Amino acid sequence: MALLASYSDPADAALALDALKRGGVPHESHQVEEDGLEFIQIQVSDEEFDRACEVIEQHDTELMESRQEEHRRRSGCPTCGAPELSHRDDIDCSGSITGISSVMECKKCGRLFPR
């Protein structure tokens, strides 16, 4: 067996294990303790190692992209995705019944949207 990856976050490990399962790569996972920290190690057979690496690399890329996308959606302009936003203090939402607490303006495309 060869050590493919080790994860300190069980959620990350679960996602990686799921990716391997979807990729049809036989694997084993063990919980290990090192210097008081718990890790989840994923092992694959030597023959499967290269293929498993590809699956994990692909998985990491997808994960990073989806996290960036999520971050962009949460923090940037909903229209163009620009992160430069300004807070429109001049628009008072305190009496709003819609639950909008403030209005943001995109510095790039000028879109106003609630936050």
Q: Residues interacting with Zn ion, by CB under 5 A?
A: 77, 79-80, 82, 106, 108-109, 111
Write down the least CB distance from residue 113 to Zn ion, Å: 9
- H/E stretch holding 39: strand 37-44
Nearer to Zn ion, 23 or 81 (CB): 81
The number of CA neighbours under 13 Å toward the Cβ of 75 is 8
Nearer to Zn ion, 51 or 108 (CB): 108
In sequence order, the β-bridge partners of residue 77 are none
Write down the least CB distance from residue 79 to Zn ion, Å: 5
Task: Using DSSP bridges, classify how beta strands 85-87 and 112-114 pair: parallel, antiparallel or unpaired.
Answer: unpaired
Nearer to Zn ion, 45 or 79 (CB): 79
Nearer to Zn ion, 2 or 100 (CB): 100
How far, in Å, CA of 106 to CA of 82, rounded? Answer: 7
Write down the least CB distance from residue 28 to Zn ion, Å: 48
How far, in Å, CA of 51 to CA of 43, rounded? Answer: 12
Write down the least CB distance from residue 5 to Zn ion, Å: 38
